Amino acid sequence: MAFSSLPNGVGLMNLNHLHKELNECFNVKYLRFGTSKRRLTWNRGSSSVVVRAVAPNSDIDFSDQDWKQHYQEEFEKRFSLPHLRDVFDLTPIPTTFFLKNRGSEAVEDASRTDEKKYGYVNDDDRALLRVIKFSSPTSAGAECIDPNCSWVEQWVHRAGPRQQIYFEPGKVKAGILTCGGLCPGLNDVIRQIVLTLEIYGVKNIVGIPYGYRGFFDKSLHEVPLSRQVVQNINLSGGSLLGVSRGNGEVSDIVDSIQARRIDMLFILGGNGTHAGANAIHEECCKRKLKICVVGVPKTIDNDILLMDKTFGFDTAVEEAQRAINSAYIEAHSAYHGIGLVKLMGRNSGFISMHASLSSGQIDVCLIPEVPFKLDGPYGVLKHLEHLIKNKGSAVVCVAEGAGQDLLEKSNARDLSGNVVFGDIGVHIQQKIKKHFKEIDVHADVKYIDPTYMIRAVRANASDAILCTVLGQNAVHGAFAGFSGITVGICNTHYVYLPIPEVISSARCVDPNSRMWHRCLTSTGQPDFL
């Protein structure tokens, strides 16, 4: 049996359930994840349950001396990038991305393609997906392929401009759309995609309004985009093109793309949006359409698999400080004050964890990946008693998806197919008030929910840089002929990844990671079980 850990902090997720949600969202009959589907197996230790992801058709025989080589070959196959050459017999042309198109500092011979001077990336360039060699499966955050935690190199494709391209820029029509909810940095990415397309020489650039809806809602029309249109859109939050949630038939969407004569499609969104992008890519391949579909991962929850972080996350953490600081001031200024802040994070508690770490004012951090109890001798309420007695005040930070097992189940779903969660913040607020009333101790509880304020703001400097580079690399990837890919940052390097590999599950906080341990050290909270 092959033991292979879920990559990059994947939590206890039901992959089949996720597949079902993504399929329902886009009316897709199937989604292919990598070269084979994955299943979960449970490896029960003496004190914990560890989830391992195993590829059923490629179990590793560790008695084989060449198992590492076989694993690396399988990994390389899974992470190979879909290309237009897979469907068409194409001859590349020299790139049009060089200094002549960059303004006054034009070179005399713009046809030269000096790799050092122009900064081109070779197709054989790779970046390491992981850089830590764990010596033991019990090491904090250990991600081991075999029981001995052997080091196996895992290389992914480096992003950037290539010396050869597969489109004539003057004949290209490019489309851009933003899906899902708002996120800081959407306008930054749109702006940079347009500017980079123009540097290549593309003149026909359009925005598709309101996400996938723009393809099948006849009342919505394309938005012409150019440098003049997008020049200052990064100075405000939101999306120039608008966003929406909802489903649509993949065949109808591709019909619309084909009718509009779009050659490159840049799709900004999260896991569900990327599932739709992959389905669109596969339908284009099936119809033998020379269309490149490139995703740019967008989620302030930071829950995209394999990536260091997604754009909007840093801004969300920074903006969360305002709410946390307000809660702290309210709690510290009141007699027996308790400040409660609910932050975004449906399945992943990265915002709450990082906001708690950065603020230094949080006494209790509750996230979806770590179960907890409110009642009982070791519950959250008992700990708040202790804090009120010894500190006189307390501040609690909770992610929206935390503690859903404590609430009444709902079968309702939003337009994206996501289960509608109960409001854990309101539930905890009511429980705190009831508890302290029952023990006859005064408690002044202030509840703050800054959800929509956080996601609607302008991107900060860190996210703006990330958005700029992601937008540029999305265009480079499309001109290089890649389709069905997304751009991201892995171990500080910008890379291209096949979409199926990043949507196979959500990225979650690893309760055994050093980062979560650091958060616990900062808050001083015990286990609430």
**Residue positions annotated with a catalytic role:** 301
400 is in an annotated binding site: yes
527 is in an annotated binding site: no
300 is in an annotated binding site: yes
Least Cα distance to 386 among 528, 289, 255 occurs for: 528
* Other C-beta atoms lying within 10 Å of the C-beta of residue 196: 21
344 is in an annotated binding site: yes
Describe the crossing of helices 380-390 and 424-438 by its angle, rounded to 10 degrees.
60
Which DSSP string corresponds to 336-372?
TEEEEEEE--SS--HHHHHHHHHHS--SEEE-TTS--
1 is in an annotated binding site: no
User: What strand order describes the sheet that includes 394-399?
Assistant: 364-366, 394-399, 337-343, 444-448
515 is in an annotated binding site: no
C-alpha–C-alpha distance, residues 183 and 298, integer Å: 7
Q: Give the largest Cα separation in the chain, rounded.
A: 83
398 DSSP β-pair partners: 342, 366
455 is in an annotated binding site: yes
Q: Is there a contact between 344 and 300 (Cβ–Cβ < 8 Å)?
A: yes
168 is in an annotated binding site: no
485 is in an annotated binding site: no
521 is in an annotated binding site: no
C-alpha–C-alpha distance, residues 83 and 482, integer Å: 4
246 is in an annotated binding site: yes
271 is in an annotated binding site: yes
346 is in an annotated binding site: yes
458 is in an annotated binding site: no
Using DSSP bridges, classify how beta strands 173-178 and 264-269 pair: parallel, antiparallel or unpaired: parallel
Q: Is there a contact between 388 and 435 (Cβ–Cβ < 8 Å)?
A: no
| Sequence ranges of the binding site | 181, 245-246, 270-273, 299-301, 344-346, 400, 452-455
| Sequence ranges of the binding site for ATP | 181, 245-246, 270-273
| Sequence ranges of the binding site for substrate | 299-301, 344-346, 400, 452-455
